[in-house]
Structure 1
Amino acid sequence: MAEQAFMDGLSEVKEACYLSDIVVRSADSFSPGIKAHKLILRARSTVVKGMLASGEESLTVPDMNFEELDTFLSFLYTRTGTIPQGLLEKHSKSLYKAGVTYDIPHLCDIAAAEIIRSMKLDHSECLSILSLNQRLLNGTTYTENTLHYKKIQGAALDVGVQYLLMRLESGSLLDLVKTEPELVLKIMCWYIKNVSPE
């Protein structure tokens, strides 16, 4: 019990807003800001540390809604670096993007594992994941050599092949080619390069 109280200490500081010195806002302008502590934010992310170098009193996280932002900040305040499963399932993509954008490898690990798990349950998810990975490549220091990129991309392409085969068997592959030609081509090229004929 004492150990649990010790581990929950930072989370309680966040919830009580004790000595907070910054307000973090989501892209949703109607949502309230969340009071936080620069010290914690800086300690968890070198990118945020750089963003807060000039003494700002507020920070806007542009690509998150309020619930995603609250989940992200709660993660930053945990000692164990965990996220409740329901919130992780619901926000894995935005948390993965935040992990990449703010250079938080542990968050990338957790969110990537959930994304891969969910893709295996719903093969159509591979298309949105491939699209997300491409957007991240275009907008951050994320590269094709990054471990997380390779892990997510490989899983998405592998599941993508299964998804294309399912669409082929159901007679709906042509519809997919019409709506997502670049992603279909990417999956097919990966398959040709990486899967040797039996």
Structure 2
Amino acid sequence: MSSTPAPPRRAFLGFTTRSLLICVVLGAATIALVHLARVVGVLFFGIAPWLGRPSALIPYFVLLIVAAILVPHAGSALLASLVATVGGVGTMALMAGLMVEIAFLIARAVQRRRRGELAPPDDRSWLWWSIVAGWLVGLNSFALLFTFQEFLALPAGLMLAGLGVRLAAGLVYGWLGWLIVRGLLRAGFDPIGTRKGRRLTAEEAASGSAS
């Protein structure tokens, strides 16, 4: 007689233990990316303030997009960004996580309304929303540039160049986040933890029929 696997235990705010670990690991890895973006931003700010602080050349928020796709739960990107913030990178990661979270809250709402359920993590529909998340982060980063006198002193053309760089980076980094998720899934990574349950169920069914 076969038995169905027990539903995953909700460890914190509706997150499973596995999904919490995914958010924590991705948030911890984001710390290194944010620090790198800060260093590069400081190096370039004196000669090219429109590249910004943090630097748009570093995909410091890409793992927050990965968290939002891998963990289809409200607050996953924000949780990962909180880990990075607590890790000492300040509000930069938190603001990026908030932008990513907004994009994917809308994405999940749209998908549930149209399909009745969420698409699988490797579905191409997430690519578009990953790019939207990248654009929101870029626009937020661009708005923060207006708090720097060096940026305000630039001609309008260079300001627009800064906006263009951020929109282009948002597109590339959003696509990169989706590619990372697809690569992880094709390599056998299981973000939900259901594959083991399926195997156990099949084995139990086989042993039950044999007996």
TM-score, L = length of structure 1: 0.27
Which structure features the higher share of helix residues? 2
TM-score, L = length of structure 2: 0.26
Larger relative contact order (Cα-Cα within 8 Å, sequence gap ≥ 6)? 2
